[in-house]
């Protein structure tokens, strides 16, 4: 059994490239896997729940790919079941490139990044656009009442394949909240040291 990822991605031209660059044998393990790897485990579900952004790829009717960044509060991309994820699509620059592409071709790919831990999850699937008057119950699951942004639609993705990338070439990056958490102990240590110096009348206590 091949992984769903290999079945989707390893086209004849991809295999030819693998042979040319000497990685065909290495990549053949994806075609001999015991699991399809097209369902989310608890690990992937937890990983998705911690993300506050992702990159999505769609393709236009003229064949041009389009990559878009989607962001929101942590957990705005929701796991609905082990093969379905979805998110509330907030109003943006009103060009509607991704929406238009999906209306013509429902195939979509996502890349979810964890820069501090150098992890990357890739997801392939079929997307459908949902509006409030189409399925209010589903939209209620996707909406984030505490997030002040205009929700125009929902996007629900049926997962066809997923794969984890190696950490090579992922440069660690940190959000302000992550940096605040990292430096908080240092700031507290500085505060305590200043308090001790002040209590000693400005003397550090060293000889």
**Does the structural domain 38-169 have CATH classification 2.30.110.10?**
yes
Task: Please report the pLDDT score of residue 149 as a whole number.
Answer: 84
User: In which residue are the tokens 């030819």 written?
Assistant: 16
Task: Please report the pLDDT score of residue 59 as a whole number.
Answer: 97
Task: Please report the pLDDT score of residue 2 as a whole number.
Answer: 86
3-state helix, strand, coil in the chain (%, to 5): 35, 30, 35
- For the chain, the structural domain boundaries read 1-37, 38-169, 172-202
Task: Please report the pLDDT score of residue 45 as a whole number.
Answer: 98
- Would you say the pTM of this structure is higher than 0.85? yes
Task: Please report the pLDDT score of residue 204 as a whole number.
Answer: 60
- Six-digit token string for 11: 């086209």
The CB-side HSE value for 184 (13 A sphere, CA atoms) comes to 7
Residue in 142, 121, 154 with CA at minimum distance from that of residue 45: 121
Torsion angle of the four alpha carbons 170, 117, 173, 146, in this order, in degrees rounded to the nearest 10: 130
The mean pLDDT values, 10 residues at a time, for the chain of 207 residues are: 92 97 95 93 97 97 96 95 96 92 98 96 98 93 88 96 93 91 92 89 63
Contacts for 9-12: CB closer than 8 Å, 24+ residues apart = 9/124, 9/161
């Amino acid at each position: 059994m091949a992984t769903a990822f290999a079945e989707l991605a390893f086209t004849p031209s991809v295999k030819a490239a693998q042979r040319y660059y000497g990685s065909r044998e290495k990549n053949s393990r994806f075609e001999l896997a015991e699991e399809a790897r097209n369902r989310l485990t608890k690990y992937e579900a937890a990983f998705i729940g911690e993300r506050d952004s992702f990159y999505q790829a769609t393709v236009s009717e003229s064949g041009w790919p389009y990559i878009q960044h989607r962001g929101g509060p942590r957990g705005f991309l929701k796991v609905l079941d082990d093969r379905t994820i979805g998110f509330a699509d907030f109003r943006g620059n009103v060009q509607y490139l991704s929406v238009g592409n999906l209306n013509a071709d429902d195939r979509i790919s996502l890349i979810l990044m964890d820069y501090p831990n150098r992890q990357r999850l890739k997801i392939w699937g079929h997307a459908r656009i949902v509006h409030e008057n189409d399925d209010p119950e589903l939209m209620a699951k996707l909406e984030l009442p505490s997030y002040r942004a205009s929700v125009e639609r929902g996007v629900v993705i049926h997962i066809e394949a997923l794969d984890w990338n190696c950490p090579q070439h992922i440069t660690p990056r940190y959000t302000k909240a992550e940096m605040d958490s990292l430096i908080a102990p240092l700031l507290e240590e500085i505060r305590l040291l200043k308090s001790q110096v002040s209590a000693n009348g400005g003397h550090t206590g060293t000889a």
